[in-house]
Structures are given as C-alpha cells and as structure tokens.
C-alpha cells in the first residue's frame, strides 16, 4: 500500500490517498451501505475505521460489546483476535 499525501487547504486535515485491494463482494457491500446512507464509499470507510477504533479500545479494556435489537434478546459480540 503506497499512501500519497494531499492537502487542498492549510486549514483542513491532511488527506492521504490509500489504495486497497478488496474482494468484489466487499465492494458490493461498501457500495450498498454508501447508497443506503446517501454518502460516499470513502465516508463509509472512515466511519468503519472510527467504529473499529472504539471496538478495539473496548476490547483491550476488557469491556463487553452488546448488540441490542428492539424486541429481541441482547447479544454479546465476542471478538476473536
């Protein structure tokens, strides 16, 4: 992965262009999520990174991560590292 640094304005955070290899099925999921949210695939990836950071920190702290669906039993997310 070769990042390329770009910065359109001195006031904005530095952006780095990153190229990744994804499976066709991953790109389909990414595109569907972006379409459903009315946003870009880049924004979906940014949010996924932020979510992963939260999950990683919680896991390292020994916290439980729960999935709560209305009218259904609460499920605990178990991460296998």
Query: Tens-of-pLDDT digits for all 81 residues of the chain?
Result: 556 555 556 678 899 999 999 999 999 999 999 999 999 999 999 999 999 999 999 989 989 899 999 999 999 888 777
What integer pLDDT is reported at residue 78 of this predicted model?
Answer: 83
What integer pLDDT is reported at residue 77 of this predicted model?
Answer: 84
What integer pLDDT is reported at residue 33 of this predicted model?
Answer: 98
Closest CA relative to residue 20, chosen from 41, 6, 39: 41
Contacts 24+ apart (CB under 8 A), 61-64: none
With beta carbons less than 8 A apart as the criterion, state whether 66 and 78 touch: no
With beta carbons less than 8 A apart as the criterion, state whether 56 and 46 touch: no
């Amino acid at each position: 992965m070769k990042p390329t640094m770009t910065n359109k304005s001195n006031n904005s955070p530095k952006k780095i262009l990153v190229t990744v290899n994804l499976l066709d099925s991953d790109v389909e999921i990414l595109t569907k999520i972006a379409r459903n949210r009315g946003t870009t695939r880049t924004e979906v990836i940014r949010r996924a990174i932020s979510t992963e950071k939260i999950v990683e920190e919680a896991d390292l702290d020994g916290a439980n991560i729960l999935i709560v669906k209305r009218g259904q039993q609460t499920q605990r997310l178990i991460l296998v590292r």
